[in-house]
Amino acid sequence: MTSLAPAAFAGSPASGLICRECGHRTPLAPVHVCTECFAPLEVEYDEAKLKLVTRASIEAGPQTIWRYAGLLPAGQDVETRVDLGAGMTKLREAPNLAKALGMRKLWVKDDSGNPTHSFKDRVVSVALSAARAFGYDTVSCASTGNLANSVAAHATHVGLRAVVFIPSDLEQGKVVQTAVYGQTLVAVDGTYDDVNRLCSEIAEQEEWAFVNVNVRPYYAEGSKTLGYEVAEQLGWRLPQQVVIPMASGSLLTKVDKAFRELSKLGLVDASPYKVFGAQATGCSPIATAFENGWDTVKPVKPNTIAKSLAIGNPADGPYALDVVRRTGGAMGHVSDEEVVEGISLLAETEGVFAETAGGVTVATLRQLLKTGRVDPDAETVLYNTGDGLKTIEATALTSVPTVTIAPSYSAFAKSGAAG
């Protein structure tokens, strides 16, 4: 393993890493905290290289996140790129849901269509491409479920070894969808935050690429593609409002970063937009800070069915607060009961079955409309970040057969199911 940017980063528009707090610069390396002030590092780009990207060059690219390779930190070299086909998921017009909510124009960016059925395939594809470029042979992560699914699948696809850590109380779908690839899966009796702390300790001992530790700056950039795609799919323009689920808060900050980059590069006309953040009440440290006007996020112990969002100590919480405040958006949080209602509402109006995170987002949108924070007349994009089949526990008790009958016509006729 090499410590400085190896040849495999040739072609990358990234110029290095920069501290989000003090601005201290570091060359491209598998590090995530500033040596001067211990704040998180972020990828910095060479503006001249980003400017080489045009609408035409993007449109000529593959139907995956890699059409935006010129705006990402790693994966330009197709030899080390890790690609299961993430990205270019459907942007669905949602007229029935819009009507049910009293909105004029609503879209659902539906990331359930990714290879392992959540938006995490975007970040993992970029993170593992960076890990390979740095020469690692083992990748690891702490996960609330979807990251585990995606890391195990992508690592297997390219012959990397994966050691994945999850809380032991995850949904069965998430456990099976990680274990099935035959990699090492370590279930830990504790919360995600306990698992994450353990991973940071292990990271000091093992020469592995930890997706959300030492290669986190590269990982996080993958989320920008959820901003790029929405703009491209709208015909190269920005929506007026976006509603985004928050775990660590990273995705929300990166959609905003993508919109600002596209405007700055002239790929879209700069137009105002508002960013809204969604959490479950049982784990709402960022939304609670917003509600109370705090600049810092107070850690909580998660207790919600929205396990994919259950990060009690969210690393990007303060940055998510900044984005929402700067753009004039808002945050909200909803009960587990409302999460299930949100899943049902999206399914029954649009035929889209969302993960609990999607239920959180639909229910939060409904709440923010009621409180007047979201403008019902402004064009809005709601992000559905995962597939409902991953979290069937949430709806298993309410989504049941209309009737159960004997296999005879008379039983059917008597059942009332003919309507």
Ligand X SMILES: *Cc1c(COP(=O)(O)O)cnc(C)c1O
Q: Which stretch binds Zn ion (CB under 5 A): 14-22, 77-85, 345-353, 374-382?
A: 14-22
- Which among ligand X, Zn ion, none contacts residue 22 (Cβ within 5 to 8 A by kind)? Zn ion
Nearest to 335 by CA among 292, 283, 291: 283
When binding is defined by CB under 5 A, the residue of 1, 10, 25, 36 that contacts Zn ion is 36
- The residues in 342-381 that bind ligand X, with binding defined as CB under 6 A, are 355, 357
- Provide the token pair at 346: 């999206």
CB closer to Zn ion out of 40 and 277: 40
- Report the SS3 class of residue 358: helix
Least CB distance to ligand X at residue 66 (A): 20
When binding is defined by CB under 5 A, the residue of 33, 39, 58, 187 that contacts Zn ion is 39
For residue 139, the cross-strand partners are 162, 209
- Provide the token pair at 102: 């009293």
- Contact letters (x/-) for ligand X, 125-164, by CB under 6 A? ---------------------x------------------
Q: Which stretch binds ligand X (CB under 6 A): 27-35, 226-234, 243-251, 341-349?
A: 243-251
When binding is defined by CB under 5 A, the residue of 19, 287, 310, 330 that contacts Zn ion is 19
CB closer to ligand X out of 245 and 332: 245
Nearest to 31 by CA among 107, 130, 154, 115: 130
Q: Whole-angstrom Cα distance, residue 310 to residue 356? A: 11
Size of the site for Zn ion (CB under 5 A): 8
| Sequential DSSP letters for 239-276 | -SEEEEE-SSSHHHHHHHHHHHHHHHTTSS-----EEE
Q: Which stretch binds ligand X (CB under 6 A): 73-81, 246-254, 255-263, 335-343?
A: 246-254
Least CB distance to ligand X at residue 358 (A): 7
Dihedral pair phi/psi, residue 83, rounded to 5°: -140, 110
Size of the site for ligand X (CB under 6 A): 17
Task: Work out whether the CA dihedral 96, 98, 100, 104 comes out positive or negative.
Answer: negative
Q: Whole-angstrom Cα distance, residue 381 to residue 244? A: 9
Task: Work out whether the CA dihedral 316, 321, 322, 328 comes out positive or negative.
Answer: positive
Q: Which stretch binds Zn ion (CB under 5 A): 19-27, 96-104, 143-151, 317-325?
A: 19-27
Position 251 contacts ligand X (CB under 6 A): yes
Nearest to 281 by CA among 363, 341, 190: 363
- Which among Zn ion, ligand X, none contacts residue 69 (Cβ within 5 to 8 A by kind)? none
Position 246 contacts ligand X (CB under 6 A): yes
Determine how β-strand 41-45 pairs with β-strand 14-19. antiparallel
When binding is defined by CB under 6 A, the residue of 386, 388, 394, 395 that contacts ligand X is 386
* Amino acid occupying residue 406: A
Position 178 contacts ligand X (CB under 6 A): no
Dihedral pair phi/psi, residue 108, rounded to 5°: -115, 115
CB closer to Zn ion out of 37 and 176: 37
Determine how β-strand 138-142 pairs with β-strand 161-167. parallel
DSSP 39: P
Residues that bind ligand X (CB under 6 A): 118-120, 146, 245-251, 308-309, 355, 357, 385-386
Residues that bind Zn ion (CB under 5 A): 19, 21-22, 24, 34, 36-37, 39
